[in-house]
Amino acid sequence: EAQVTQNPRYLITVTGKKLTVTCSQNMNHEYMSWYRQDPGLGLRQIYYSMNVEVTDKGDVPEGYKVSRKEKRNFPLILESPSPNQTSLYFCASSWSGASYEQYFGPGTRLTVT
């Protein structure tokens, strides 16, 4: 089954404790991205990757890191999480670029206390 998977689905952590949210797709997609969704602010892109070893900032990259060492994986790293990073996070992928259909993962709800 073609899908985007994210882990964990739910995470409660404390300020400053490094964490990684994994994202994997099995569709051989080139374009992958991370979003956060917040009430009143909508869905905002954090980082995106056009292909392996190519990453770039979205609209809200501060406090986040990403890497794209393999085509299928695109982990999101929070080196020192803060409470303002409490949010619902989505990973997405598409065949080739931002104009194509984005396939979204199920989401990760992160709470930073």
Partner 1 sequence: TQLLEQSPQFLSIQEGENLTVYCNSSSVFSSLQWYRQEPGEGPVLLVTVVTGGEVKKLKRLTFQFGDARKDSSLHITAAQPGDTGLYLCAVNRDDKIIFGKGTRLHILP
Q: Which residues contribute to the site for partner 1 (CB under 8 A)?
A: 4, 33, 35, 40-45, 48, 50, 56, 58-59, 90, 92, 97-99, 101-102, 104-107
d(CA 70, CA 81): 25
Cβ 36 to partner 1, closest distance in Å?
Answer: 11
Whole-number CA gyration radius for the chain: 13
Cβ 89 to partner 1, closest distance in Å?
Answer: 10
Evaluate whether 99 touches 32 at the Cβ level (below 8 Å): no
Give the residue carrying structure tokens 């299928």. Answer: 72
The structure tokens listed for 71 are: 């085509």
52 versus 107: smaller Cβ distance to partner 1: 107
53 versus 59: smaller Cβ distance to partner 1: 59
